[in-house]
Structures are given as C-alpha cells and as structure tokens.
Chain A
C-alpha cells in the first residue's frame, strides 16, 4: 500500500538500474534532502551546531567504518586514530599555507597511507586477532600523536584550527559550516549507495562471506582487503579533518583516543552492519540519546524530589550508552537498520500480508 510495487515496470535498463525504484522511497529521500538543505532555517542555532552538524559528520565517519566492517567484513578497532591523522595533517597543512580543499584531501591521503600500513601489519591475521592488532595499533598511534611535538605540539597541547576557507571564501557562519558538513556527508552517502552495485562492492561482499572461497572464484582477497582499508581510511581521514574544522575548531589527541574508536564501532554495530540508513541511526543513537536520557533522568529526579549528585548524573550517559549497545544486540543483533528493513518489508505488501512468500 505505502511502498506500492504495482505499476513499476522495468521497460529499459536505466529503469532497472534505478537506485530507488519504489516511488515512496524517492519521495522520502527527496523530503529528507529538502529538510537537510533547509536545516539552518528549520532548527535553532543550538540544535544545528551541537546536534545536527556533528551527527552528519559522525554518520559519514560511521559509513566509512561500515565500508570495512560491514561490507568487507574486516575489523578495525583503530578508526579514530585514522581520523586523527587526517585531522592533524589537514590542520598542519592549512597552517603551512596550503589551500583548505587541498589540505583536507591531503589529510585523507595521509590517512590512506597510514591505513595501508595498518593493513599490511594487521591483515596477516583475521577475526579476533585482527581486532586486537588494530586495537594495539590505535594505542601506538595515540602514543605517537601525543608524544611527538611536531605533530601535536606537546603532550597536552591544543592545536587551534585555522578558519575554513572554501575556494578562497572564508566560511565562518553556522549555516556555511553546516553546508560543508552536509556536502561531505552526502558525498559519502552517494558513494556508499553506489558501491554496493559495483564490481568492487560485490568483490568486498565476497571477501566478507569467506575470503578463501572468494579466492577460489578469482577474487584476490588480500588486494580487496587492502582496497577496503585504503578507501575507508580516506573517508575517515577527511571526516576527521572536517570534524575539526567545522565542529571542534581545535585539535587535541584525546579527541581521537581509543574510546572514540569504540564509540564509532558502537555506531556501526548499533546501526547495523552494511546498512547505510543504519549508520545514520547508529550515529544519532550513540551521539544524542545518552544526553537526552540524562536530561530525562535529571528532570524526573527533580519532579520526584529526589536528590541525585552531580557526579552520579555525570556518569549516567556513559551507562546508558553501554546499556544501549547491550540492548540493541539482544533485541536485534543486525541493528537498527535491520529493524527499519523489517518495518519496510512488512509495509511492502501491507495490508495483504499473505501475499508474501
């Protein structure tokens, strides 16, 4: 009824290959896009800069991690370090006088190079051991970033990010920064949407399902694993750079510590492996929900007249965050994206449920 498939005829190849063959999907994407473009006028200034914009950038980063975890099936517990490398390279580049666009791309390329080094070290093993070795590499990168003064400027230094200059124009307004973030997020999303129907995407899926079996049918599994590491590192590096330029405005080593890696991993898992809309859901869930629940707890406590200490209140979001991960994994291990897919599949034939095989 809602997602009506009747009347959709694939009469030529272009129609057959359409990204969203069902009209309602197209409408929904259109509305979301319009909302995204109108956001500076729809949302308040606070909501825009502290909720919507970081959400979009983290969603882009989560999509990059999803490429390697969900599509290629390889663990990456050091994604925050990759983002950090992109951020530091871009900031140093702009400070050295390189134009902003080139510096950000350079950040992505530097992240790619380090990501490939990561991959060469880590890809000799898989599964749990790959997870642990990337985790150890994250610790090494943390140490290198914070202990080499040329990168971080000292152990506990903060490096101010220069003003964002896009094509020679200074971008300082909230709306301008938001559109930079939105543009990057849209670019990554479109890339990921198209990835799954290219030869590369199919090869990655084959490697994910079983790398030996993929090798038997002629897919070089090591090569594709490397490509996956490189691509997702590029996305991560640029996301890190954009995060620093539009949201943090300064860069410190703690912004890209091991906890952030785990947070990104949680976004991907909670959102759903190999699910694009899931990455958005996951980023929103992990980023925004704990704070909201904390406010709810504080509000309820005030209402009930109970006195909750400041310290207790400060740790509740973290606890909610852990509980969210556990809860989602128990309810639907494939994440929120799968929940959305379930609802959509139900509505595909609703109200004629018996028509489903």
Chain B
C-alpha cells in the first residue's frame, strides 16, 4: 500500500466528488422547494452541454458568450418543464411524479440523440491538459477547475438564500401551506427552483463535457448525483457538498484497490452500495430533515 497512491486517489476523488455535488445541488434545489425527486437531472446536465455546443458550434458564438446564453436558455427551459409537466401533478402520489421525471429523462435523452446524434462531441473550454503537480501528487487540472466552480456556486447559493427571494424559497421548503397562507406564490417559487437547477445543470454539463465528451452518457451522472443527494440529505445544499467529497473519495479509493481484485467496473458497485447503506442506516442523510409521519 503506497501512501502517495492513496493520497493521490483521495485528492482526485474529492475533486471529482465536488463535481458530483454540482449535479446533486440541482436535485437538492428542486427537492427542497417541491419535494419532487428529479430523476431527470442527469438529462438536464446533458441537455445543458448540448445547448452550449449548439450556441458555440451551431451559431458560432465564442465560448465565453455561449455558456451564459445557454444558461439563460436553460433557465427558461427549466421553468417550462415545471409549468407544463410537473405543476399538473402537484399533490398526486409520488409514484406518478417519479414516473413523470423518468419520462422526461427518457424523452430528453432520446430527443438529444435524435437531434444531435449519438457520437461524442468535444467541449473545449480552454483548460490545458498539462499535468498539475501538488508536491508529489498528480492532479487533473479539469477536476480542480470543476471543484472550484462548484465551491463558488455553493457560496453564491448561500448568499442567495439570504436575499428576499431566497428567504421566500426557504419559507416554501419549510412549509408550503403556511407560505401559501401568507401570500407567497408557491408556484413561482417552485418554478424558480427548477430554473436554478437547470442553470446548475448547465454548469455541470460544461464541466463534465470538457472532461469526457458531450454525449448521452452525461445523463448517467444521475445515479451519482442522486446518491450524493441522499447521502447529504435531499434538502441540504451543504450536505450535498460534503457528501460529494465523501462519495468521491470513497469511490476513487475503493475502485482503485477493488478494480484489481474484481476485474474492473467496481465504480458503480461502490456508488450503489453507498446508496443502499445510506438508505438502510440513515434514510434522511447526513444533514437532511427527518420528517415525522402522521396518520
């Protein structure tokens, strides 16, 4: 057991884990405001990446302009999804809401394949491939940038939840009936949370797209995102950040050693095991609210 190898695995894992948090943050934002577990977050990430490419390759906009344009587009796309698909299902049993988000996931994924095809496209955002050494550790430059962006976004959200709009969202997540009765427009708040989640998804799409490439497999980030979300507590943004680091380190270290024993592919197994164990031991996650059920 080489200590440097272990450290390198954990640091890179933590950085990648912070990028999982980026996917989880979108899920948490939506779950907080409307208790909707968004299983379409993975395809929103994929859609965001494709929209950025559509602006930069299709319309010829430079990357620094394409990304904000795509974010604006996705802001309204997220709002539209909430308005057209999810609002009509409010108050329905959760199985229908889950199925709706799954249907959205299938639709968006296949729609992207129909329009843009199945082959991977590169996303160049100007991160150099040169190795970055931190002492003896070899770091992936793209992961460092991704982790930094995640932390900045988290800080922005912490500040946002102190503004007037943010307080409204917090009130809705606390008790939407009570918010309704004091005159808060719950629908508008939920729509805003979908829009914000879509913008976060676009960021995740750009970062992950630059690491692998932009294709359908971006939507499989959902499993990691939802695991991070559950581990941190589905209604806690800070929990998502911490859980992302935890899962990233665990996944990277465990698969670094297990892959040799099991012959590859143990990454998904680790993620599934973390998800099952979290749900069995502490379903509400590290920092989530533990709801008490009434008859």
Contacts and interface: CB of A to CB of B under 8 A. Distances in A.
A139 B223 contact: yes
B103 A312 contact: no
Contacts of B293: 212
A262 B272 contact: no
B65 interface: no
Contacts of B283: 124-125, 129
Nearest to B119: A311
Contacts of B88: 330
Interface stretch (B56-64, B71-79, B146-154, B274-282): B274-282
Contacts of A216: 295
A293 interface: no
Contacts of A312: 114-115, 117
B111 A319 contact: yes
Interface stretch (B89-97, B120-128, B173-181): B89-97
A143 interface: yes
Nearest to B279: A133
B257 interface: no
Given A133-B279, A140-B276, A266 B103 contact: yes
Contact of A125 (B95, B113, B117, B279): B279
Interface string B230-253: 100000000000000000000000
Contacts of B275: 132-133, 135-136
Given A322-B104, A329-B96, A333-B89, A147 B118 contact: no
Interface string A108-147: 0000000000000110110111011101110110010001
Contacts of B280: 121, 124-125, 133
B106 interface: yes
From A124, A129, A210, A269, residue with most partner B Cβ within 10 Å: A129
Given A127-B94, A143-B265, A311-B117, A132 B110 contact: no
A321 B276 contact: no
A213 B114 contact: no
24 contacts: A132-B230, A133-B276, A133-B280, A135-B275, A136-B275, A137-B276, A139-B271, A139-B272, A140-B269, A140-B276, A143-B265, A147-B262, A213-B295, A273-B95, A311-B117, A318-B106, A318-B113, A322-B108, A325-B102, A325-B103, A326-B107, A329-B96, A330-B85, A333-B92
Contact of A121 (B100, B263, B276): B276
Interface residues of A, number: 44
A293 to B, nearest CB: 12
B110 A322 contact: yes
A129 B230 contact: yes
A261 to B, nearest CB: 10
Interface in A40-94: 69, 75
Smallest CB-CB A-B distances: 5 pairs: A322-B107, A325-B103, A322-B106, A318-B110, A319-B110
Nearest to B104: A326
Nearest to A324: B103
Contacts of A131: 37, 95, 98
Nearest to A335: B96
From A143, A216, A319, A323, residue with most partner B Cβ within 10 Å: A319
Contacts of B107: 319, 322-323, 325-326
A357 interface: no
Given A128-B37, A319-B110, A330-B85, A136 B276 contact: yes
A325 B105 CA distance: 11
Contact of A326 (B95, B100, B118, B262): B100
Contacts of B106: 262, 318-319, 321-322, 325
Given A128-B98, A132-B275, A311-B117, A210 B110 contact: no
Contacts of A241: none
B258 to A, nearest CB: 12
B226 interface: yes
B103 A322 contact: yes
Contacts of A325: 99-100, 102-103, 106-107
A212 B292 CA distance: 13
Given A319-B111, A325-B102, A212 B37 contact: no
B103 A140 contact: no
A133 B275 CA distance: 7
A269 B98 CA distance: 10
Given A318-B110, A319-B111, A212 B85 contact: no
Interface in A240-291: 262, 265-266, 269, 273
Contacts of A210: 295
A195 interface: no
A265 B276 contact: no
B276 A212 contact: no
Contacts of A137: 272, 276
A143 B98 CA distance: 24
Contacts of A122: 279
